Chains A and B, each alone.
Chain A
Amino acid sequence: MRESLGDRLFNIINIILLVIIGLITLFPLYYVFVVSFTDPSEYIEKNGFVLFPEKWSLGSYEYLMSTSAFIRATGISAFLATVGTMLSLIVTSAFSFGLSRKRLRGRRIIMIMVLFTILFNPGIIPSYLLVRDVGLINSVWALIIPVLTSGWYVILMKSFFDSIPVELEEAAMIDGGNDLSIFFKIILPLSSASLAAFGLFYAVAYWNTFFSAVLYITDFTKVPLQIVLRNMLIDSDTAVGGASAMEMSSDKQLPTQTIKMAAVVISTLPILMVYPFLQKHFAKGVLLGSVKG
């Protein structure tokens, strides 16, 4: 069937619209990138109007790489993103897998228990007091253990495991496997796409950890990257609460705009690097069983 004039017009307008949306999404990122590579003196001279810098400069990156607080905090965030993600994936997948097996006694009660935590949370203070009472304040584990798994992900992952046939396990049982070896040797390898998606979500969440660090980490030598970034990016006189920017740059003046944006670029880099490899799994991770019909 030939396209009618109306349909062609519709297509053209639609594509123009999408291109505009794409540009609106990209422009701020492009501008951050450009500013980070602009020579600080050029930035000041043009008062920030640098859509196309005349001379590119690595100065801001060199400065950041010589800032010990930035390097140390990046290391802490990298630890969170690797160790935290692995622990979260193991706990979440083992838990969801167990819940998906009908042999497990009390699975209905446990599911209701998990669902309820999504609907109701006791608020900041009781959780804070718990973390404090178990002595995790100023420990990197306070940023991992209290968020080890999420009710949402358990429910999504469980419905994914529901689709793995029990016969597969039974066959492995006959060959002398037990539930542990079946889980690690058969189920997990079968679930690599789903693990990739949830792994990315966990890794991003750990890398972006901010609020729990505001709550639980008061020692400035132990804060993750987002806290250091906050102190750099937000002027100390307008910020409310938390550590001030003074700690970040006690020896030097407040970081300039170009240095701030270099910090933004560096801290976004890990996400940009894994993004293309994992993008095809996004939809799967979000959707596993969450859309009925």
Chain B
Amino acid sequence: MDVQVKSKSKTSVWAELKRDRFLYLLVLPGVLYFLIFKYYPMWGIIIAFQDFSPYLGVWKSSWVGMEHFVRFFTNPSFYLLFRNTMMISLLNLIFFFPLPIILSLSMNEVSSKAFKRVIQSVVYLPHFLSWVIIAGITFLLLSQTNGIINLMLEFMGFPKIAFLTSENLFWGLLTGQNIWKETGWGTIIFLAAITGIDSQLYEAAKIDGASRIRQMWHVTLPGIRNVIIILLILRLGNIMDVGFEQVFLMANGAVANAADVFETYVYRNGIQQGQFSYTTAVGLFKSVIGLTLVVGANWLAKRFGEEGVY
């Protein structure tokens, strides 16, 4: 009896697979992609615990345990990389993160649809420009010899500022670029969340005599709290990612101490100098911290009764 039931369910699985074969065919390329290009490299992480030699391959390279990690943590550049990464991230968190929220609150208060659409088209635009272009524009504006900002400063009788080659200004420069490029784009998600707020809440607030600013504070902001928290969690999880392209493009000899971050370090020592095992260890350290931060932030958010990311 038991055997019969089993074999019966087995044939129906086969029948199901056969019936849905085209459905599986549709999914197949995606599954293969994720297995090969996302999961196979995860297996490649084991070279962080080896003295990997491309000639011997993963199977024959010798094991060294945590040696590369120890070497990295005792290296003076570890402190520098960690500091730079955290500072760039924190500046973005403090100065960039609130701006899309403020801008979407402000855009939401505009009654003219046409004006709102024009502003949206304008502020979304920089998001689509590449970091190479942004870097080029930055040089055009801020170069010390003929950047228009410095020319204006000079014209008004102020001294010129070495925006591009000053270590003290480098982090601020990156934050500024990020604000210009992404603030507008960041409003999309908040504006959509605002649309979902029940309009009766505004009516009630108006009857209670709330001004426009008080309505923002007591109705709109609480209404988008979920979205703010979700994005904050994601941001915290990505605190170790500062955007390789931006830093790589803006770095130069004069600001090297402020500009070296984990990924530029991995690129230089790994790709350019072939220290694959050592830099895989560096990358793994960064990824594990990142994963821990997202999981931790998500757990915290849920403890405080919010929805979280997953």
Q: A: which residues have CB within 8 A of B?
A: 1, 4, 6-7, 10-11, 14-15, 17-18, 21-22, 24-26, 28-29, 31-32, 35, 47-49, 51, 91-92, 94-99, 101, 103-105, 110, 113-115, 117, 119-130, 145-146, 148-149, 151, 154, 178-180, 183, 204, 207-208, 210-211, 214-215, 226, 229-230, 233-234, 238-241, 257, 260-261, 264, 267-268, 271, 275-276, 279, 282-283, 286-287, 290-293
Contact = CB atoms under 8 A, between A and B. Distances in A.
Contact of B136 (A21, A24, A229, A275): A229
B20 interface: yes
Interface stretch (B72-80, B87-95, B140-148): B140-148
B67 interface: no
A240 B123 contact: no
A291 B192 contact: yes
Nearest to A22: B122
Contact of A233 (B42, B136, B151, B287): B136
Given A95-B27, A149-B30, A230-B249, 16 more contacts: A11-B111, A22-B122, A28-B137, A28-B180, A29-B137, A103-B16, A125-B276, A125-B283, A208-B130, A229-B133, A230-B132, A240-B256, A275-B125, A279-B121, A293-B196, A293-B226
B251 A240 contact: yes
A122 B41 contact: yes
Nearest to A180: B22
A264 B268 contact: no
Contact of B123 (A22, A113, A230): A22
Contacts of A117: 34, 38-39
B128 interface: yes
Contact of B22 (A21, A35, A154, A178): A178
Interface string B285-306: 0110011001100000000000
Contacts of A17: 106
A104 B280 CA distance: 36
B115 interface: yes
Given A233-B132, A292-B226, A122 B284 contact: yes
Contact of A124 (B109, B141, B212, B267): B267
Contacts of A32: 137, 140
B283 A123 contact: yes
Given A114-B34, A233-B132, A104 B137 contact: no
Nearest to A35: B140
Given A92-B30, A287-B189, A126 B45 contact: yes
Contact of B26 (A98, A123, A271, A290): A98
B1 interface: no
28 contacts: A1-B206, A22-B122, A25-B125, A25-B126, A28-B137, A29-B126, A31-B140, A47-B151, A51-B148, A95-B29, A103-B16, A104-B24, A104-B27, A110-B34, A117-B39, A119-B237, A119-B294, A120-B291, A123-B283, A123-B284, A124-B270, A130-B36, A149-B30, A208-B132, A229-B130, A238-B164, A240-B256, A290-B189
Contacts of A233: 132, 135-136, 139
Contacts of B36: 130
B260 to A, nearest CB: 9
B103 interface: yes
Contact of B148 (A48, A103, A146, A179): A48
A48 B245 CA distance: 27
Given A22-B119, A211-B244, A279-B121, A48 B147 contact: yes
Contacts of B294: 119
B227 to A, nearest CB: 6
Nearest to B164: A238
A47 B145 CA distance: 8
A11 B109 contact: yes
A26 B271 contact: no
B212 A126 contact: no
A94 to B, nearest CB: 4
A124 B211 CA distance: 52
A239 B254 CA distance: 10
B188 interface: yes
A90 B38 CA distance: 19
A130 B40 contact: yes
A165 to B, nearest CB: 16
A257 B128 contact: no
A91 B253 CA distance: 42
Contacts of A215: 267, 271
Contacts of A121: 38, 287
A104 B20 CA distance: 8
Contact of A122 (B45, B109, B206): B45
